[in-house]
Amino acid sequence: EVQLVESGGGLVKPGGSLRLSCAASGFSFSRFSMNWLRQAPGKGLEWVSFISSSGSDIYYADSVKGRFTISRDNGKNSLYLQMNSLRAEDTAVYYCARSELGGYVYWGQGTLVTVSS
């Protein structure tokens, strides 16, 4: 069974940093591209970042470019999102999701990041 489990969310002050993790199991992690997406409270879905299976291709949404860094460790079956210079508008549930079929079939349960003083 494919499982994606996010962790690392919490309350952080504006300007602070947080590192999210996504532990993958039930599939060959190194064969799939992965993504981070987010959803602000009461709002719609927003794609945040993409990383290819080998990590050689990386893309970011303009809203996080220069502040967030996506990475992966295929040996540990894990995906990461380093978030720096956090802003109130980064408050959201952050999901990791596997790329396939031209969409996202598997999603984690999400981890809440709250940026507030």
Partner 1 sequence: SSELTQPPSVSVSPGQTASITCSGDTLGTKHACWYQQKPGQSPVLVIFQNIQRPSGIPERFSGSKSGTTATLTISGTQAMDEADYYCQAWDSSPVVFGGGTKLTVL
Residues that bind partner 1 (CB under 8 A): 35, 44-47, 50, 57, 59-62, 95, 101-105, 107-110
Q: Beta strand pairing status for 78-83 and 68-73?
A: antiparallel
Q: What is the token pair recorded at 33?
A: 């591209």
Q: What is the token pair recorded at 11?
A: 């309350």
Torsion of CA 61, 62, 68, 72, to 10 degrees: 30
Q: Which residue's CB is nearer to partner 1, number 3 or number 17?
A: 3
We find the least distance from the C-beta atom of residue 67 to partner 1, in angstroms, to be: 16
We find the least distance from the C-beta atom of residue 82 to partner 1, in angstroms, to be: 19
Q: Which residue's CB is nearer to partner 1, number 16 or number 105?
A: 105
